[in-house]
Structure 1
């Protein structure tokens, strides 16, 4: 699934694997955030029950335009995907945080990409539909 966040930014989320349909097993997701000349790709694991809660909250956001939907990775600080209203007029934000921890010598370091994108109610519905279609 590819989501156009702006003229120059695209988010792609691919479900690499998951458990059996009748169970809320973990999701193995690959996220790629691209802009002109820059691409950040991260493979993460998300708890199945948290993914289901994220889907439920997205459906609620679509219908009520209130609340928030948040998805995080099982490993801390590797993924945060947040959609929430910023006012009562139908303006929303989609915040994405992707991180990668790596070792140099004997020390751990983080590489992180954090960005936020504004969404109008119509764009929110498109983003939510794409997420629902690919995560359910």
Structure 2
């Protein structure tokens, strides 16, 4: 659930500065609102990371944990500049508001698509550990 809330928070950040809410918030209020939204974003991602570490430790065999962790970390390091490049291209052609809302929507879509598979895997693991 944490990743769903995180993606909705990102979408909300784009929505707040869009023309939909133009004139509703002063610049001062926007600063405080973004501080609250950033805090919520970090909070939800932190909760999700704790759950992901537990899932990682339960799914990956102990003797392969180092290798899998290294591959996972390398993949994340490769993906970061690619994501930054993609977002920079979007910022060149589309407003920051639309880009932020788009990324929040994509994030939410990815989480919702993979949610069923993750829940199925967790249920299988739970049944395996029960027996």
Fold in common (TM above 0.5): no
Greater Rg, structure 1 or structure 2? 2
Greater share of strand: 1
Higher helix proportion (structure 1 or 2) = 2
TM-score, with structure 1 as normaliser:
0.29
